[in-house]
Structures are given as C-alpha cells and as structure tokens.
Structure 1
C-alpha cells in the first residue's frame, strides 16, 4: 500500500446531516416548500451546485451562496473528524503513505470542511465534484497520475455504494466505510467491497497490519 484515497462526507467526518440541514435552510425558502431528506439525497452525485440546479434552477446563484453560508454557519454540528480518524492520518503519514482525497463535494464546501477540521495539510492531492454529475472515477485516476501511484498500490475509502462502483471502474481496491450513522451497511455488503469496516478502530487495525506486511 502506497496511497490511501479518502472520500469526505460520511468517511472522514459525519458531515452528511450537516449537508442536508444546510440544503434545507438554503433551498426551502426559495422553493416555497419543505423538502424531505430523501428529496435532497436523491439529487446527490453531482456537487452541491447540481443539487441546487435540480431543486431550484431559477435561483441557482442565490441558492449556492445561501447553501455555502449556512454550511459554514452550521458546521458546529460536525466540528471535528470521526474520533480516531486524525490518528489514522497521522499514522499513515508517519509510515510515508501518500494521502489523497476524492469527494463529490464542490470545491468551496470541501475547503470549508478541511479548514474546520484542520486536516488540509494531510492530503497531497484533492479532487472535488462537478455540477454536471459524478466524476469519482476521473478523480481517482487524476490523483493517482499526480502522485505517480499504480491503482493496485492504493485503496479508496468511501461510504457509498457508488464509491464501490467508481473504485472498481478505476481499478482501485475499495474499502467501504460503514462507521457513519448514515451508512447503508446491508447494501454495501451486498456489493462485496474488498473490505468493509463498521468501526474506525477496525479500519485502523487493517491499515496498520497492511502497512506492516508491506515493510
């Protein structure tokens, strides 16, 4: 293992509830109606700009700015990464493992969270999402090219079924992060990722054992 590529929402931190809360505060006043969590989640895939475009296309610019404002203001809902995640990042860095991030979030909200968590410096390459649609396959390929890493020498760590599909398409082993309250554990298991962990502690043990074997 030479490189670990992380997703952000639901993997590094429990930020999905924050995203949904910010979308509701930004979009509901402009849409003139209440939105269910499912209505919002069903638009995920593209970055936040894609969600705004899908739900309130006539208020696109205002919707994006309102979302980012609420996202920052509400970030105290998720003030730090999952407990134990920073220690994993530290351990990997100490072992000269390169760290990257490929997220479906937009660039601006990604920067807000990385700044709030104070973890930006851990990642040597970061690829964010697109309003046009999912681009994790391209993002994974891009960070591997930037870092000079072969797909088989890396892993992708993500919490969504779509992460499993994207990783397989990119030729990268997939570790399913099922430690967030929002993880769909049974669905992830059905898709048979290379590894699935329900706790950060299990994931840390796996990282330590894998790195030690390669020494």
Structure 2
C-alpha cells in the first residue's frame, strides 16, 4: 500500500528550535532544580534518550508537565525569530503536489506551531496539527490520532528527530523516518533501528517514493 499520510514532529524536525529551547531550559534550571546544560555537554547529550537526560538531570517526573508549559510559554515570545529547517519548505511543497495528507504531532503547543507556520507561510500545507504535551507516551498519541482520523497504519509514516519518535512508531507498528538534523545524533538514532534514516529533507522524497 502506498503512503497517503505523513505525520511530522515539529521541534527539531520542521522547525530549527534546538538552540532556543536549550537557552530557555537553561534559564529555567534554577526554578526547576536541575543543572543547566553547558556548551561542552551538547554533543554528549545528543546521544542520550529523553529518559536518560531526565535521569541524569535529577528532574522530578512530577515537574515535567510544568517545565514543558514554561518552555512553551517562553518559546512563544521567540517564535518570530525561529526558522524552518533548511529544505523543509521545499519538501512540504513537493509532498503537497503529490496530494499527501500532511499533519503534525508535537509536544509543543498548538498556538506555537500555528504561529510559526503562519509566519513562514507554511500553514497551507497541513491538514491537521495535534499537540500532546508530554515527554513520554507518544505512541498513545499517535494511536489516538490514527483512530480519530481513521487512517490505515500501513499507509502512514511518522517523521521525527528523537529516539522516542522511533520507539513510539515501532510500538504501534507504523513506519518511521528518523532525521539527523534535529535533537538526537545519527548514532543515537541508528541504535533504535528506524525504518529509514535521512540527513537532508530532500531524502524524505526518495524514501516516500520507495515506499510507494
């Protein structure tokens, strides 16, 4: 069965938000009781899963929803200064020309995503935006999204930049494309065995053509 539905993660996959989120997270470190991230830590942290990062930081799981809310609020103030990942607008145009159903599933807020897409005139390419404000449990969000829209799992692919995107997709048996330009490093992503690993947005088109 050909691919009819493509669901993207937002932060790090569509939007180049890594540096902005890292700065905000460091600014909030004292408020939430974890160590700020040093520049020398960046490459090492990119090789860790979200769960490993939280374990290292000592951040209470109870505080995570509140931290996410604060990060989203601060990011909203900076959204006009953020840009799409290079090559993403061209990818979206090409997928739109192929009449694919294109959506977003993100742990960021819907308001942030809509504002970003409108600024960059990318909102016209998306059929839906779904927000699930949690670090964990993305598989449940994906399953709920698939059931709500009555998508066929075999005709769908998820695209994300973190190991948790791969884990979530495999848990519900859908294809996943991992991208190396976001949060997790290529080595970290490979260890989680994505169906495909791409280094530039244009490579996504090759994968979709292969699946079709």
TM-score (norm 1): 0.74
SS in 2 for 1:155: strand
Structure 2 residue 167 is matched with structure 1 residue 165: yes
Q: 1:118 to 1:206 in 2, by over 3 A?
A: same
Of the three residues 134, 138, 147, the one matched with 2:136 is 134
Q: For residues 93 and 84 of structure 1, do their structure 2 counterparts lie closer, same or farther at Cα, with a shift above 3 Å needed?
A: same
**Count of aligned pairs:** 194
> Which SS does the other structure have where 1:196 is aligned?
strand
1:192 equivalent in alignment to 2:203: no
1:89 partnered with 2:92: yes
Once the two structures are superposed, what CA deviation does each residue of 1:35-80 show, in whole Å capped at 9, x if it has no partner? Answer: 2266xx6349xxxxx98934xx9xx59x946x445313333552x2
1 CA distance for matches of 2:110 and 2:54?
18
What residue number does 1:70 align with?
A: 74
Q: What's the offset of the Cα at 1:3?
A: 0.6
Match in the other structure for 1:183: 184
Instruction: Give structure 1 stretches of 5+ with no counterpart.
Output: 45-49
Flag the 1:195–1:68 CA change in 2: closer, same or farther, 3 A: closer
Structure 2 matches for 1:111-130, cutoff 5 A? 111-130=114-133
Aligned equivalent of 1:102, options 101, 105, 111: 105
| Helix, strand or coil at the partner of 2:7 | strand
Higher relative contact order (CA 8 A, sep 6+): 2
Deviation at 1:176, TM superposition (A): 0.6
Structure 2, unaligned stretches of length 5 or more? 39-44
Q: CA RMSD in A?
A: 3.1
TM-score relative to the length of structure 2: 0.75
Q: Partners of 1:160 and 1:5 in 2: how far apart?
A: 14
* Equivalent-residue separation in structure 2 for 1:173 and 1:153 (angstroms): 9
For residues 12-23 of structure 1, the aligned pairs below 5 Å read 12-23=14-25
Cα distance in 2 for residues equivalent to 1:206 and 1:179:
16
